[in-house]
Amino acid sequence: MVDKELIVFDFDYTLAKTIESIWVWSPRGTRLYKDKPYIPVHPSMLSKHKIGDDEKIDDDSFKEFYSLDIIKTKPITLTINLLKYYLTNCHKYKVYIVSARPQSVEKDVISFLNLYDVNTTNLNYIGLTNSDPEAKIDCIKNIVNKDIYNSISIYEDNKYVIDNINKKIKHTVMTCFIELLGNEIRIIYNEN
């Protein structure tokens, strides 16, 4: 039994503003990869981008996410400070970053966090190599099922994950929806 609180952070647009884009394969694409035209779409804009009948997203669409440009990536100070607090009090908290990015990006993520004086010694990184929000929910469910936690908090910018996590986990989860509004950040807390 673990006498701790579980804290789970997303990475992109929860802890950091990143620059990588998803490649939407399209005959109207403005860039080429292996002679295939694509449109780069930032993840925050993907839900607003209507995929046409002649467009698609596949595994190659996520090539940019296999690395992290730690120089161009910018910290989200509020959530970075929360992460620092939880990691400093590791006797009370078990902290994870669960990201749609692959596990191979862990070193880049750790290097980025170290630039902002985050002690990552007790940080657990799980790279899913999967952008499906259900994959993230299943991963968190697996973490929860391994131990007994006093409480669970999730910091996430994906509204689907926030809205559906409590349907899959039998424990009460405090969700913290992270919303970036230009240079401002809003955190919406909800305990279900």
Distances from the Cα of 105 to the Cα of 3, 67, 182, angstroms: 30, 6, 26
* Alpha-carbon span 27 to 33, nearest angstrom: 12
Tell me how crowded residue 93 is: count the other CB atoms within 10 A of its CB: 19
The mean pLDDT value for 47-66 works out to: 86
How far is the C-alpha of 170 from the C-alpha of 192, rounded, in Å?
11
**Residue 139: Cβ within 10 Å count:** 18
pLDDT for the residue numbered 1:
52
Q: Which of 81-95, 110-124, 150-164, 173-187 shows the lowest per-residue confidence on average (mean pLDDT)?
A: 173-187
pLDDT for position 94: 96
Residue of 46 and 59 predicted with greater confidence: 59
192 pLDDT tier (thresholds 50, 70, 90): low
Residue 3: pLDDT band (50, 70, 90) is: confident
Q: What DSSP character marks residue 65? A: G
Residue 181: per-residue pLDDT = 79
- Give domain 5-17+72-191's CATH superfamily: HAD superfamily/HAD-like (3.40.50.1000)
Domain ranges, ordered by start, for the chain: 5-17+72-191, 22-66
Q: How far apart are CA 61 and CA 21, in angstroms?
A: 8
Share of the chain above pLDDT 90, in %: 65
